[in-house]
Chain A
Amino acid sequence: MDHLAVLLVVIPLSGAFLVPMIGRQGARGYRIALGTVLLTAACATTLLIITARGQAISYFVGDWRPPWGIELRVDAFSSFLSFFFSWIYVAVITFSARDVTHDLNPAALRWYWSLMLLLLAGLLGVGSAADLFNLFVFTEIYSLAACGIISVRDRMDSLEAALKYLLLSAVAAGCILLGISLIYMVTGHLNYGYLATALPAAAAASPRTVLAAVALLATGYAMKSALFPLHIWLPDAHSSALSPASAVLSGLAVKAGIIALFRLFASVLSASPAVVRAMPAFLGVLAVGGMIFGALFAMTQTDLKRMLAYSTVVQIGYIYLAFSVLNPVALTGAILHIVNHALLKGMLFLSAGLIIHRTGKRRIADLQGIARQMPLTMTAFTIGAMGMVGIPLTNGFVSKWYMVLGTLEAGQPAAAVVILLSSLLSALYYFPLVIAGWFGSPPAPEPAQPEGPPSMLWPVLGLGTACLILGVIPGPAIRVLGAAARVLLGQ
């Protein structure tokens, strides 16, 4: 059973190699990709069942033990995220089958499948890496794969966005690598467990070096996860990518940086006082900036996908703000919000993709009365919008409840107020769209047509159902996460 921990990464990685080799013609690439993702999801589900009760699986690659060997570690935190990430991937890959074949030529298509799988391998690897170097490797795998997915479209704006992302991502990677080297320099360890033990002495001996390392790591991962003001690459990248790719990039890929930060700052590096002191001030303020400015930018957008991309900046702010108070309740909310936002934003981008696929409209002003043609898609979009605002019975409400409760428990009512204010701002840019979609009058009556191919409709509806289930019956998820958050905080 322990091998599942490594299979979680190895399966998508091998899939990524298989597709270009044997998936050249026809739909074979799609079938391999879907099979790989399903296998990964099954693996993640099993891992979640095993670890849900709080026990963790440590896997030593090649049976080389730390401090020399590579350790992979799957606990409730990472298996919970892996579970949702891989199932969202199933939805996205299913959706891609019809959508992407339109936009890409067959040669680019197999690279698309391959890169998508590579991205998944990187994302899952970030969650289960148990040493800094492998964390870095997985980070680079997913970043470069993301860059490839953006540029696979071979259009001017996509290439430009990919280049922008590549440059900033390289800067971030440099920061991360430098931070890791500094930490290795003062402690002599990369493995999380050994590092945590050695860090207090090292931090006492050379506090400035550790502080610099922490700052570099924070900057690097903040940039990877588009924390304001390092978000500038995100709107271009996410809006110019193919819609299913946007769903993955916006819903999942930006979260990898957060996952890494959570892991490092809440448990691994928290032995260093520099981390504990610098954290709230540093990340909390930036998060507030992201929540307010992201919302203001989102309001001024005319393009649907750009608006959704800016909304991601806002939601990232929520997660960071809740994390910055370092309270188990708020952290539960933050982790849950990683998943909730992944589901919601995935669904929103897929429904946007469906609208674009079906009508070719992507300007917000053109979406008047779109629900007459696409009622199911618009229902999903409405659920997504309500989740973003945090209306009860959607999953967004549950995570907001825990985030607000946690910030108040930590004695920071101002943070709670910011969270709620930002929710109101979300309503200001999501609801007009929903109202216009349902009640606006379409410019010209269109002939009745089926809403979209089932392979595109079902993933959207499936994600919508997941959002509602998590919103109505959050109990099991909360139990797993409550334990995970306490473990993460070492309480």
Chain B
Amino acid sequence: MNAAAEIYSLVPAIIVLLPIIGAIACYLVGLRWPAVRDWLSVVTAGATAALSFTLFPAIQEGAVIVGSVPILMPLGLTFRLDALGFLLTSLTAVIWLLATLYSLTYMKGEHGVNRYYAFLLVTLSGAAGTFMAGDLFSFFLFFELMSLPAAVLVIHEETPAAVQAALKYLFMTVAGSLMFFFSMVATFEMAGSVALGGRGLIPEASPIAFLTFAGFVIALGMKAGMVPLHMWLPDAHPVAPSPASALLSGIMIKTGAYGLLRVMYEVFGLEFLQATGWNNVVLVLSVVTILLGSAVAVTQYDLKRRLAYSSIGQMGCILLGMGLMSERALTGDVFYFFADAVAKSCLFLCAGVILKTTGKRDIRQFAGLGQRLPVTMVCFTLAALTLMGIPPLNGFVSKWQLSVGAFDAGMPGYALALLASSMLNAVYYLPIVMTAFFDHPAPAGVAVGAAPLAGGEERARPRQPEASATMLVPMLILALGCAVFALSPGNWPLRLSEAAARVLFSK
């Protein structure tokens, strides 16, 4: 397993290029033939996903796929795809495909659909690129290629709230990217290289090295919704159209955590961090993130806002896993990326169906939804149970590994934080499920609970099919994804997570 074979391939470059070409094509085609555009975007996302899976055999044998495009930018673009990168890239492409499929119905009749599909594909290119980047510079480029166009998805509704949220998002993104830029240049200055995949670039601890580390933590933690820097997230994620929220919360915030993982293990290195103890910065912040994110989620009654805060809580667990510095914790951590991405995008897609068919955002008005939208609510329940960490599901596998990892690392106290996370998840997810399935809808005209949120007026259209197939199928696939992998013996995401953790630790 060590001394992994390197295979030179330009497939990663094509994976990045394909959605961009698709985006331009979609925009141009969409000016005349909207129906063709819709399916073209699905086909593009599907082709990207298929292309990423062609790399699976090589990855399974432990190979690392490298590629480079030297002409671009001051340092050239390089790609490096190992087990970790592959897991997240293929996951990204698949979830993008599902969200695009879901958008076909969801976005029908909305304004600016052309722009929406084009930017959806551009962000796919950026997100996939971040997971395949072979050096910090390429990472930065793709990070920006994802983050800035995502602002267009956030602002999609063009309401004053959306504009506000997008501006906030944009400023924090720019601030974060400048931080990253500084740290990247400082790394280049100290180490003479920004290549990822090694065992650490920074030669010695110094004030400027700590500044570099802090810059990375701030820049990437900001994207990941780490607590003092999360302010943009609860505003930006809920205002976007639901499939876009699913991608923002499911995948895009993971790029921040992923970047931090690479920075901690490959830019600074295991020994370096163990010697300096700087990983404690991440640990402490992650616990705060878990507790605060989850606690605030309990107080939110707007479904999408609650989900957004829940994302913050989950990201806390992910950050915790990488700070623990134990191999088992890291396995759980990488698997957590997978579990949360699947579950959280499923939840946002469910929220989209609820919003679209009933017009309800306020969870206090969800009584009777279980009868009205049975498939949606079952999917929702399954995903919520996953995030709570109920045994046979994905979330349990990752939380188990993380907790054991905390003991391995000799810091059992952090396992309590994970328990608290599970418990708080139950506190804010179960009531939604209970209300939906077991409460009877109040007679018309009587408000349930406290004053309902604005925009929650009833738009009931009784006895209709729940939603179109293009909306239901993606949700079902994701909901099944929450359960199937953890139950089946050939749990390849877990195998890949183990391989990824081993690679990061063997060095």
Contact = CB atoms under 8 A, between A and B. Distances in A.
A475 interface: yes
Contacts of A475: 71
A472 B73 contact: yes
Contacts of B178: 390, 420-421, 423-424
Contacts of A474: 73-74
Contacts of B74: 398, 401-402, 474, 478
Nearest to A422: B178
Contacts of A462: none
A398 B167 contact: no
A34 interface: no
Interface string B71-90: 11110000000000000000
Interface stretch (B181-189, B301-309, B412-420, B430-438): B181-189
From DSSP, what is the main secondary structure of chain A's interface residues?
Answer: helix
A47 to B, nearest CB: 26
Nearest to B156: A439
Contact of A413 (B72, B167, B211): B211
A404 B182 contact: yes
B144 A392 contact: yes
B144 A391 contact: yes
Contacts of B73: 392-393, 398, 472, 474
Interface in A400-429: 400-402, 404-405, 408-409, 413, 416-417, 420-421, 423-424, 427-428
Interface string B140-157: 110011001000000100
A417 B208 CA distance: 12
B112 to A, nearest CB: 9
A13 to B, nearest CB: 38
B222 interface: no
Contacts of A402: 74
B158 interface: yes
Contacts of B141: 392-393
Contact of B186 (A401, A408, A439): A408
A405 B182 contact: no
A405 B185 contact: yes
B133 interface: no
B397 interface: no
Given A398-B73, A472-B73, A431 B182 contact: no
A425 B73 CA distance: 24
A477 B72 CA distance: 13
Interface string B145-176: 10010000001001000010011001100110
A408 to B, nearest CB: 4
From DSSP, what is the main secondary structure of chain B's interface residues?
Answer: helix
A392 B140 CA distance: 8
Contacts of A431: 167, 170-171, 174
Contacts of B208: 413
A408 B185 contact: yes
Nearest to A421: B178
A439 B185 contact: no
B496 to A, nearest CB: 30
Interface residues of A, number: 34
Contacts of A413: 186, 208, 211
Interface in A291-333: none
A432 interface: yes
Interface in B51-100: 71-74
A420 B219 CA distance: 13
Contacts of B158: 439, 441
A473 interface: yes
Interface string A56-99: 00000000000000000000000000000000000000000000
Contacts of A424: 171, 174-175, 178
Contacts of A478: 74
Nearest to A423: B178
Interface in A314-368: none
A351 B449 CA distance: 54
Interface string A466-485: 00000011110010000000
Nearest to A432: B167
A391 B179 CA distance: 13
Nearest to B141: A392
A447 to B, nearest CB: 20
- Residue of A386, A420, A439 most packed against chain B (CB within 10 A): A439
Contacts of B181: 390, 400-401, 404, 420
- Residue of A386, A427, A441 most packed against chain B (CB within 10 A): A427
A423 B181 CA distance: 11
A441 B111 CA distance: 13
A389 interface: yes
A440 B181 CA distance: 30
A400 B73 CA distance: 12
A435 interface: yes
Contact of A435 (B163, B182, B186): B163
B185 A427 contact: no
A435 B164 CA distance: 10
Given A413-B186, A413-B208, A472 B163 contact: no
Interface of B: 71-74, 140-141, 144-145, 148, 155, 158, 163, 166-167, 170-171, 174-175, 177-179, 181-182, 185-186, 188-189, 208, 211
25 contacts: A386-B148, A390-B178, A391-B177, A392-B141, A392-B144, A401-B181, A401-B185, A402-B74, A404-B182, A408-B185, A408-B189, A409-B189, A420-B179, A424-B171, A424-B174, A424-B175, A431-B167, A431-B171, A432-B167, A435-B167, A439-B155, A472-B72, A472-B73, A475-B71, A478-B74
User: Sorted from nearest, which 9 A-B pairs have the closest CB atoms?
Assistant: A427-B174, A408-B189, A420-B178, A404-B185, A392-B141, A392-B144, A439-B158, A405-B185, A439-B155
